[in-house]
Amino acid sequence: MSDPLAQPLPLPCGVVLGNRLCKAAMTEGLGDSRLRATAKLDQLYGAWSDGGASLLLTGNVVIDHRVLERPGNVAIDPGFAPSVDATARARLRAWASAGTRAGNQLWMQVSHAGRQSPRYVTRRPVGPSDVQLDLMGNYARPRALREDEILGLVRRFAQVAVIARDCGFTGVQVHGAHGYLLSSFLSPVTNRRSDAWGGSLENRARFLLETVRAVRKAVGNDFPVSVKLNSDDFRKGGFSHVDCLGVVGMLNGAGVDLLEISGGNYEQPRLLGLSGRADDAVEVRASTQVREAYFLDYAAAIRRVATMPLMVTGGFRSREGMESALAGGDTDMLGIARPFCTHPDVARQLLAREIDTLPAYEHRLHLRPRGRLSPASPWLAAKMINVLGAQGWYYQQMARLADGRHFDPRRGVMRSFARYWWDDLSRAAALKR
């Protein structure tokens, strides 16, 4: 019987993906102090290209040099010459060349961090409205964008997509998920505008829609354009699943080749299968909790509306789970992220039937909540260490692969947490912008 994971997938633009496995976007933190790509990215993406997935998505490549998702981002900002000059473009070409060397697709995830840019990167983040992200005091109050600035950013998304194409990336993805700028416009919690960019769902989705249309127009009809969208923000009063279905309907006519389904944001990190503040949370469906992939149930409803191919990302760890997701028809592609940080050829191993289960690691300090929780409660501190320590753990394993080394399974969560801050703060201090 032919392997369902190995089946090709034709996209509306005419490009055919060679199999159903995608390495999903993971922010690498491997840019230099002038926000340019480095040889470390070539090494990392060379390994991933050889690793068997038909599609690699880069981590956030940001379009505003002042508002980074994290220090170490690669930026492409025509307003910051070092990020678009001949040297910067040569480095992008080297990255694209390494990341496509096995004949796979490599799509650049084009993004604006919006209000989710840490204080040590910018004291002046931007957003739809001045609604501040309340997380350890680490995010400054954003300034609401003016309409002319929004229109300028729509044009910039398109310009950056053209630069990506011209430098050898074989497609682009517009990041409309996880609470970054486009996603924050979608949510009534963060978008309090009363002009044409806020209020009704159509208005809240205008920035995303205009961006996707501008990108499509700029890159032409035969170049893959993807969108990453939340199935739900999982925040009270936020972008809901019903809103998501409405936006998918609007995207149907916009020339999208692959719609990637995720969910959550910094307050509710459901994209990683984690929960955030209980007072703010919308519960995930019980049927979803028993399935290994976090957003498959939501994808089933999205499938009924969407006319473009779908990819669900988050939680896939077994061949059985992946095959049943494809057979159920709720997704066409399988987005997988964390297992690629430790085993860059995990897709090849799956396709060769060397493994049936993907590697998974647990990074935890185990403390039970006791009594009343104050902000200084050790349990809350442990939760923070667990979330950021785990995130750091994956960053640091990617950095090892980028140095041509193997991953280190013995690294503990405390060490990863400390190293996370050390790396972020020292990189932020070194930025030359």
388 binds ligand FMN (CB under 6 A): no
Nearer to ligand FMN, 193 or 284 (CB): 284
CA dihedral 278, 389, 411, 395 (to 10 degrees): 120
With CB under 6 A as the contact rule, which of the stretches 145-153, 194-202, 298-306, 387-395 interacts with ligand FMN? Answer: 387-395
396 binds ligand FMN (CB under 6 A): no
> Which own/partner contact pairs does 200-204 have at CB distance under 8 Å and 24+ positions apart?
201/243, 201/246, 201/247, 202/250, 204/239, 204/243
Q: Do 424 and 118 meet the contact criterion of CB atoms below 8 Å apart?
A: yes
Helix then strand then coil, in percent of the chain rounded to 5, is 40, 15, 50
User: Mask: binding to ligand FMN, 209-248, rule CB under 6 A, as x and -?
Assistant: -------------------x--------------------
Q: Do 295 and 231 meet the contact criterion of CB atoms below 8 Å apart?
A: yes
What single-letter DSSP state applies at residue 180? S
336 binds ligand FMN (CB under 6 A): yes
Nearer to ligand FMN, 26 or 189 (CB): 26
Nearer to ligand FMN, 49 or 265 (CB): 265
394 binds ligand FMN (CB under 6 A): yes
With CB under 6 A as the contact rule, which of the stretches 231-239, 297-305, 332-340, 348-356 interacts with ligand FMN? Answer: 332-340
User: Mask: binding to ligand FMN, 292-321, rule CB under 6 A, as x and -?
Assistant: ---------------------xxxx-----
Please, what is the minimum distance in Å from the beta carbon of residue 27 to ligand FMN?
4
First-to-last alpha carbon distance for the chain, in angstroms, is 55
| Closest residue by Cα to residue 263 from 305, 226, 286, 294 | 294
Tokens 């350890």 correspond to what residue?
Answer: 136
Please, what is the minimum distance in Å from the beta carbon of residue 84 to ligand FMN?
21
Nearer to ligand FMN, 17 or 193 (CB): 17
Rounded Cα–Cα distance for residues 403 and 95 (Å): 15
Binding positions for ligand FMN, 134-193, rule CB under 6 A: 175, 177-178
3-state DSSP assignment of residue 21: strand
115 binds ligand FMN (CB under 6 A): no
**List 395, 407, 417, 420, residue binding ligand FMN (CB under 6 A):** 395
Rounded Cα–Cα distance for residues 314 and 317 (Å): 9
Binding positions for ligand FMN, 265-284, rule CB under 6 A: 271-272
**List 24, 56, 110, 347, residue binding ligand FMN (CB under 6 A):** 24
